[in-house]
Structure 1
Amino acid sequence: MSRRPPPMPPLLPGYEYERLLGSGRFSDVFLYRQPCPHRRVAVKVLLSSVLEDSAGQPLVSDATVLAQLSTHPSIVTIHQAEVSEERCPHFVMEYCARPHYGLRFRAERITVAEALSVGVQIAGAVESGHRSGILHRDITPANILVTDDRRPVLSDFGISIATSPGREAEGSGSVSILWSPPEFFTGVPRVDARSDVFSLASTVYSLLAGRTPFEHPGGRNSAADLIHRTATDPLAPLTRPDVPDELQRALSRAMAKDPAGRYDTALAFGRSLQQVELALSLPVTQMEVLDDRASGDAGTQDDELSRHTRIREVAAVDPTPGLSRERDGSRLDPYAGVAAALGPSAPSAAGSVASAPTRTELSTRADGVATALRPAARDASSASADRVEAYAHRQLPAAPTYPAARTPPWPLVALAAVLVVVLGVGTALVVRHITRPEPEQRATVAVNDPAKAQDPPDAPRSVAVAALPALEGSGDTDRATISWDAPENVGEGDYYQVRWKDLPADYSEHSGWVTVKGRVSTTRSTPPGVSNPCLEVRTVSPGGSRSAAVSTCLGEG
């Protein structure tokens, strides 16, 4: 198929054209420079073929909803949406100069932690779009951009399909077949929120695999082949040893052939990825969801996950330039951020200096609004002079008078001093002899060492290890779940450490202690090539004291 000729950039007042960034199926993207405020922006110009939806209404009419969504931290920011003088609908968006994931996933090995974090954040963005009545329908690695502060943001909501009643969401021939669900290619395409869940899971799969889900490296990968595999072939398990089975199962469910077998919402899929983060003892990624109802969905799931899911109300945004509304004075405090005026100081205990009134000054801004300032301070030099003068002329108390002392009889004084010394030395020797402890009774504990001064914690109980079941179509099992019961007298702040034991010297990667806090189970990679490996678990107190280690082996019992 021949490529269309390079597009002409539109003339946009207030923007200076620099270069073409790229062309896609739905739009062309140009780089412009905005002199005021000074910044570079990306301008996405929609093609005429996608300007009308099935109801005959311009898609750019959804600009208000899109601008509201762009307040989401994981959705690319839309600064402006309008039609140029050349009748060219376009969006002015933030420019993300870092390489997007469409370039990165084939060129580098993306870690499991990064793929999970990206999936959780973008799931919040997709869920926010769904709650605003918009399907994305083109979630791909190339549509996940990276901001200057390295945050993933989802782009191309501007070409989304409205999902409100009366505007039926239908499939399109212009979709990314590499990440699209099977229902996109049926005779009568019927797509919904679960279609976006499939595409998001396909994108996470690609970040980990370095290829698209149904691509055969070195084989035939025509459009017809890929569509057929998407509809019929089972999802091949990821072969990376660092990908846990929990993640394999989450991706398999999200990419089920039948939409009824998938997660119902992007929020549910994002929470399944957070569960994998918990299982791997990774920091749980925050998931932001915008909802004009500000519902409490975050609290209906597991408490651990609800702490990392924030559902907040949609901010009202007007993306149309030149149509700013009058601000409600009740919602904007003109004195916000200005220190309140201080009143007169309270009288001091002495009742003298503090009784003077404090003068408060007012300054007037250029707009005529009086701004209250803090009390004006007295002149520093005059205040210091007053204090010096008062100190110099203060009245000193009269010196005390004592009767004249008589000369003591020195012989008697000397004799008394000798007696006092003799009695003092004798008393000290007697007391020392009486109170001296026996040598074997001396304390030997170093009080400055808290680890030695406290009793060791109790050891964990009922330690067990079990191999995780292999995914369908997977040849081997290389991970195991370790579980145990907490000690009866577990202390506040106690945690656990787990490690494989009795391994060869070159297995240092598997033989180190791994800390587990707040849980009594963990999932670990089994040492490759070791038959029925053994492990040990111990309890550790906050002060560093450790219990005896409890051992077990894979395959016991």
Structure 2
Amino acid sequence: MAARLPSSPPVLPGFTHVHILGKGGFADVFLYEQNLPRRPVAVKVMHADLVDDRVRSAFRSEVNLMGRLSAHPSILTVYSASVSGDGRPYLVMELCSTEIGDRFRQRPLELDEALEIMVRVGGALETAHRAGTLHRDIKPANILTTAFGHPVLSDFGIAANMHLGDHEAAGVSVPWSAPEVLRDETAGTIASEVWSFGATLYSLVAGRSPAEIRGGRNGTDELSARILAHDIQPFDVDAPRTLATIVRKALAKDPADRYLSILPMVEDLQAVQEEMGVPVTPIDLQERPWSRDLDTGVEEPADELPVRVRAARRRAPMRGAQQIDISSSTQAATPPSRKGLVSVLVGAATAVVLGAVAIVAVAVTTIQGAIPVVEEVVAEPVDGGIAFTWTDPGLVDADSYLVTTAAGDAVIQRATTFRLSGASGEELCVTVAVNRDGRSGDGAEACAEVP
């Protein structure tokens, strides 16, 4: 089949087209110069033949989500988004280099460099998970480098969630995909994200993906068969044994044997840095106010490794809320423990976003039909707070619950229980609604007084 020609660049007010950067199955990416402030930017433009009402709706809701996520120092910055005069949605984003993904096979990264990159990216991924967002395509090519050499996570994969088809069409990157994803058992869970994160770490250090055999046949079918058979090649690199243990756990065949979330894995990578005597990279996490008062029942160690907390802007504190849960389609996850200039970038621009860089984060699969309604929420006083429970009204795929408190704080989760702590005599209220494709249905409210 002949290669598809790139689409024509749209006329965008305030931007001047320079040239094409890359083309893919779902979008083309162009280099533009923004007029004010004057700077080079990458603009991703969706193909006209893919745009329908469903795509427009998903684009709007998820661009807003991506805008919030891109405030993280290790997530690619999205400057703006809109729809061109000819009806094509587009994203304006930071221009970055794909140096990391380009060079790891020819020259694997030094261990200290790889660890620093993965700790920073891990903080970004954990932040996305806490916002109810799965990446679904973690791999070396999606770790870009800013003008100042900072690694940033890109490509949250709008295409993989809006169009069904084979692995290539759906955006699945086989060398870094978990076996349950290749078996089409799930479109993504925290456990599958842990696998891909571990496989990416393996690749940056070893110079090949985990199922890749040097000198052997490494096509998509061969790699897929090895991953499904858990035929993972030995992690034979000059590194502390503890790192091999971390990689082995992340790449466990059974999802239940992997890390429960990204955060404890990243904390273990910090421990490897400490063991090596190199500077320990802080984990950038946005602080959720409810986490300050969350009693985990675990005594914190005195020599805790650095976690750089960034305060969330909220009107009032939310106390005692459960961890956001996107670990599986049916049950809640155990909460994690607390514990170069522009010219250079333009020169490397043809590789910046090649292969359909999809910066829009589609966190949930678009599902047709009416949004289920939570009929009743039961509020039960417990020691120091209120436990709220409700019956599953029929969640499917990536549906979730939007739990909103009287203070206006909101949490997305999959669990059917939610707890708030408060002072004796204080009335606590929540409203629970089903969230589907960025939209929420009617909600049910419950209140109770703390004993």
Query: How far apart, in 1, do the equivalents of 2:199 and 2:43 lie?
Result: 28
Equivalent position of 1:140 in the other structure: 139
CA deviation after TM superposition for structure 1 residue 21, in Å:
1.3
Equivalent position of 1:30 in the other structure: 30
Equivalent position of 1:282 in the other structure: 278
The answer to whether the Cα contact below 8 Å between 1:134 and 1:160 also exists between their aligned partners in 2 is no
Equivalent position of 1:311 in the other structure: 309
CA deviation after TM superposition for structure 1 residue 298, in Å:
12
CA deviation after TM superposition for structure 1 residue 161, in Å:
7.6
Equivalent position of 1:125 in the other structure: 124
The answer to whether the Cα contact below 8 Å between 2:74 and 2:150 also exists between their aligned partners in 1 is yes
Query: How far apart, in 2, do the equivalents of 1:53 and 1:177 lie?
Result: 30
The answer to whether the Cα contact below 8 Å between 2:6 and 2:28 also exists between their aligned partners in 1 is no
Query: How far apart, in 1, do the equivalents of 2:65 and 2:218 lie?
Result: 38
Report matched runs for 1:470-489 at 5 Å: none
The answer to whether the Cα contact below 8 Å between 1:102 and 1:144 also exists between their aligned partners in 2 is yes
The answer to whether the Cα contact below 8 Å between 2:121 and 2:152 also exists between their aligned partners in 1 is yes
CA deviation after TM superposition for structure 1 residue 295, in Å:
2.2
Q: Deviations over 1:310-343 (max 9, x none)?
A: 3334458xxxxxxxxxxxxxxxxxxxxxxxxxxx
Structure 2: 5+ residue stretches without partners: 315-451
Query: How far apart, in 2, do the equivalents of 1:208 and 1:302 lie?
Result: 32
CA deviation after TM superposition for structure 1 residue 84, in Å:
1.3
The amino acid across from 1:83 in the alignment is V
Query: How far apart, in 2, do the equivalents of 1:29 and 1:20 lie?
Result: 6
Query: How far apart, in 1, do the equivalents of 2:302 and 2:51 lie?
Result: 44
Equivalent position of 1:407 in the other structure: none
1:246 is aligned to 2:245:
no
1:191 is aligned to 2:174:
no
| Structure 1 residues 308 and 115: CA distance shift in structure 2, 3 A | same
Equivalent position of 1:176 in the other structure: 173
Q: Deviations over 1:192-246 (max 9, x none)?
A: 12211111111111111111111122211121111111111342222222x1111
| Structure 1 residues 301 and 193: CA distance shift in structure 2, 3 A | farther
Query: How far apart, in 2, do the equivalents of 1:207 and 1:15 lie?
Result: 36
Which structure has more relative contact order (CA 8 Å, sep 6+)? It is 2
| Structure 1 residues 13 and 116: CA distance shift in structure 2, 3 A | same
1:42 is aligned to 2:42:
yes
Report matched runs for 1:440-479 at 5 Å: none
Equivalent position of 1:203 in the other structure: 200
Equivalent position of 1:259 in the other structure: 255
TM-score (norm 2): 0.62
1:221 is aligned to 2:221:
no
1:212 is aligned to 2:209:
yes
1:269 is aligned to 2:268:
no
CA deviation after TM superposition for structure 1 residue 189, in Å:
2.8
The answer to whether the Cα contact below 8 Å between 1:74 and 1:154 also exists between their aligned partners in 2 is yes
2:170 partner SS: coil
Query: How far apart, in 2, do the equivalents of 1:270 and 1:298 lie?
Result: 22
Q: Larger Rg: 1 or 2?
A: 1
2:222 partner SS: helix
Task: Give the aligned length.
Answer: 307
Identity %: 39
TM-score (norm 1): 0.51
Deviates more, 1:49-58 or 1:113-122: 49-58
Deviates more, 1:117-126 or 1:232-241: 232-241
The amino acid across from 1:236 in the alignment is Q
CA deviation after TM superposition for structure 1 residue 56, in Å:
9.0
Aligned Cα RMSD in Å? 2.9
| Structure 1 residues 27 and 194: CA distance shift in structure 2, 3 A | farther
| Structure 1 residues 200 and 82: CA distance shift in structure 2, 3 A | same
The answer to whether the Cα contact below 8 Å between 1:100 and 1:143 also exists between their aligned partners in 2 is no
Equivalent position of 2:109 in the other structure: 110
The answer to whether the Cα contact below 8 Å between 2:43 and 2:92 also exists between their aligned partners in 1 is yes
2:216 partner SS: coil
Query: How far apart, in 1, do the equivalents of 2:10 and 2:302 lie?
Result: 50
Report matched runs for 1:513-552 at 5 Å: none
The answer to whether the Cα contact below 8 Å between 1:298 and 1:311 also exists between their aligned partners in 2 is no
Query: How far apart, in 2, do the equivalents of 1:41 and 1:224 lie?
Result: 37
The answer to whether the Cα contact below 8 Å between 1:51 and 1:60 also exists between their aligned partners in 2 is no
| Structure 1 residues 37 and 146: CA distance shift in structure 2, 3 A | same
CA deviation after TM superposition for structure 1 residue 14, in Å:
0.5
Equivalent position of 1:85 in the other structure: 85
The answer to whether the Cα contact below 8 Å between 2:159 and 2:171 also exists between their aligned partners in 1 is no
Of 230, 235, 239, the match for 2:232: 235
| Structure 1 residues 207 and 74: CA distance shift in structure 2, 3 A | same
1:29 partner SS: strand
Q: Deviations over 1:382-425 (max 9, x none)?
A: xxxxxxxxxxxxxxxxxxxxxxxxxxxxxxxxxxxxxxxxxxxx
Query: How far apart, in 2, do the equivalents of 1:52 and 1:204 lie?
Result: 38
| Structure 1 residues 5 and 298: CA distance shift in structure 2, 3 A | farther
Query: How far apart, in 1, do the equivalents of 2:79 and 2:3 lie?
Result: 30
| Structure 1 residues 131 and 305: CA distance shift in structure 2, 3 A | farther
Query: How far apart, in 2, do the equivalents of 1:53 and 1:310 lie?
Result: 41
CA deviation after TM superposition for structure 1 residue 291, in Å:
4.8
Report matched runs for 1:383-402 at 5 Å: none
The amino acid across from 2:145 in the alignment is V
Q: Deviations over 1:124-173 (max 9, x none)?
A: 101111111111101111111111111100111362888xxxxxxx9873
The answer to whether the Cα contact below 8 Å between 1:52 and 1:59 also exists between their aligned partners in 2 is no
The answer to whether the Cα contact below 8 Å between 2:69 and 2:75 also exists between their aligned partners in 1 is yes
| Structure 1 residues 247 and 79: CA distance shift in structure 2, 3 A | same
The amino acid across from 2:36 in the alignment is C
